[in-house]
A and B are shown apart, each in its own frame.
Chain A
């Protein structure tokens, strides 16, 4: 049976200054194992909120709608249960965990997700090879998780976890942001290795089209004001690259390599003029 992650009419609020603000206003999306869906949209459209809501971050409250994984209620699961059920989130801003070494962290994660501790000798080899593929210095494994890592190192570390944990569904939250061309290539190759297995569904959240030169999505969704405004094939990304989001009533897409910064507070569904 092909695994399916199904998101139905998802509404999510986040608490801000004591008031609940609705960020997601009805997201419906179905992803099957082996498929890659790109979600693109302007700043503040709610893309990251979707990522966190799937992973179960406590700051985000699902007010209505459903997420199921092969029919199982994901929303009823705790954060760690979701991960063990096969949901993975590569974070835009990976968290520093001082005092916990990368090797300890990776092995603990693999043990949790696989349900048993990997045999030490095999594991050491597996980790070493995965790090080599991502062109990571072996010395990384003795450093504290994400502590003092550069932006590119953090993202490689996220994709390292993706490769080692082999989730059924991976949400990649702006994994491409802040990467130079070299790092983008290495990271994209890592993602493609996981895609090629055909066993992982990928939700690729991005602000740019440039990562789509490396990773060809099966579907592209335009995210505007907390929901999907339009869905299409990879061609839709080319159209966005050419015309921006003007037709959706928001700012132009930032040129490749750059990113327009909001000039004021980012409100859900409200984007400052470029």
Chain B
């Protein structure tokens, strides 16, 4: 089996692709799994055709409403752009660079490959070596209408021993497929926050592809509130020991929204740490969230320490939250590995208690959701940023519960 796999891998390499995550025969998963949870191969390639056109039967597409995503899947050539505004502290560079000139992790699916192929130029944010920033870098990407397909590539690059907080905000109306390449150099520390605060008609498919150097630290927070369909795949590749990643997310799906977060943390080197904490709250007839948490601990990744947690809160019975944690472990020499997933309903007793104190039902729901999210947001550890995010969440909840 091993030789057949390596042959296949060689063949893929020749076409520009890499096959990842072959499961060894001695894997002892920590939980029973259904056939749907088993992903025997993961293809990474710059060539869209390596992936084929999704039909909806593929594991990585089975939750996504493909009909709605059609404008992007069709792959039309487009030179439409999002409007970029930014706040840049001294020493930080934000430039356009021909995409062919940047070395970034390979795309994880067809849309990501199309985005890299079609975007033409990449928006590159560079924090130079050793620069430690106290002020956040804010880059705001605004869509000007859903009519045009926009292909995009954003690179956030922290050179070694630098430290920065970067906020990437998405607003307005768009049909946007993008890759966000996150390159954290040796000993660098990045606090990255991405906010999806789109208008109701927006389609957004993104691959957030992180690559960490030795002793690099990444704190990544996704706040997904607005948009018709948002599908974010976040991958983490460790290239050297000492990498430390915390991936957090909160999403609020209202009637008709499909918000999907797919995570793949690839522990391929020893002594790295990862934590995943995602929460979503949902209400309404066609509200749907999807959370896929894949953590792979390869044979070489001794001393890995990982834990992932997903919590979903259904505010109305018709909303639907899918949650698929998946841990593949190829070595027993680890520090820790675990996951937890739970989906609960907003309890009638909680609602009664709050209402019995005069608080109207809508305000009571808002309080509970705000509290549910605050636990994640407050773990960021940057008070200014936490306040900003809670204010954004508050505005969304005000809108949803009135």
Give A residues with C-beta under 8 Å from B: 55-58, 78-80, 82-84, 88-89, 91, 94-101, 104-105, 108-109, 112-113, 144-145, 161, 165
| Residues from chain B with Cβ under 8 Å of A58 in the complex | 348, 352
| Residues from chain B with Cβ under 8 Å of A112 in the complex | 357-360, 363
Which residues of B (347-367) have their CB < 8 Å from a CB of A?
347-350, 352-361, 363-364, 367
| Residues from chain B with Cβ under 8 Å of A88 in the complex | 356
| Residues from chain A with Cβ under 8 Å of B375 in the complex | 99
B358 A83 Cβ-Cβ under 8 A? yes
Bound CA span A97–B347, Å: 9
| Residues from chain A with Cβ under 8 Å of B367 in the complex | 97, 100, 104-105, 108
| Residues from chain B with Cβ under 8 Å of A78 in the complex | 355, 361
A254 to chain B, nearest CB (A): 27
B356 A108 Cβ-Cβ under 8 A? no
Which residues of B (318-338) have their CB < 8 Å from a CB of A?
none
Bound CA span A95–B349, Å: 7
| Residues from chain B with Cβ under 8 Å of A91 in the complex | 353, 356
Interface of A is mostly: mixed
B368 within 8 A of A: yes
CB closest residue in chain A, given B372 = A99
Q: What are 28 A-B contacts defined by CB distance under 8 Å?
A: A55-B352, A56-B356, A58-B348, A78-B361, A79-B355, A79-B356, A80-B355, A80-B360, A83-B355, A83-B356, A83-B357, A91-B356, A94-B353, A95-B352, A97-B367, A98-B371, A98-B372, A99-B368, A99-B370, A99-B374, A105-B354, A108-B367, A112-B358, A112-B363, A113-B358, A144-B371, A145-B353, A165-B358
Interface residues on B, range: 20 to 34
From B348, B352, B358, B372, name the one whose CB has the most chain A CB atoms within 10 angstroms. Answer: B358
A95 B350 Cβ-Cβ under 8 A? yes
A138 to chain B, nearest CB (A): 20
The one of B353, B371, B372 that contacts A95, using a Cβ cutoff of 8 Å: B353
| Supplied contacts A79-B355, A97-B353, 11 more A-B pairs, CB within 8 Å | A58-B348, A80-B359, A83-B356, A91-B353, A91-B356, A97-B368, A100-B370, A108-B367, A109-B358, A144-B371, A145-B353
From B348, B364, B371, B374, name the one whose CB has the most chain A CB atoms within 10 angstroms. Answer: B371
Beyond A58-B352, A79-B352, whether A105 also contacts B357 by CB under 8 A is: yes
CB closest residue in chain B, given A90 = B356
Which residues of B (262-309) have their CB < 8 Å from a CB of A?
none
| Residues from chain A with Cβ under 8 Å of B370 in the complex | 99-100
| Residues from chain B with Cβ under 8 Å of A99 in the complex | 368, 370-372, 374-375
| Residues from chain B with Cβ under 8 Å of A98 in the complex | 371-372
The one of A57, A84, A94, A145 that contacts B358, using a Cβ cutoff of 8 Å: A84
Which residues of B (70-93) have their CB < 8 Å from a CB of A?
none
Bound CA span A58–B352, Å: 8
Bound CA span A99–B368, Å: 7
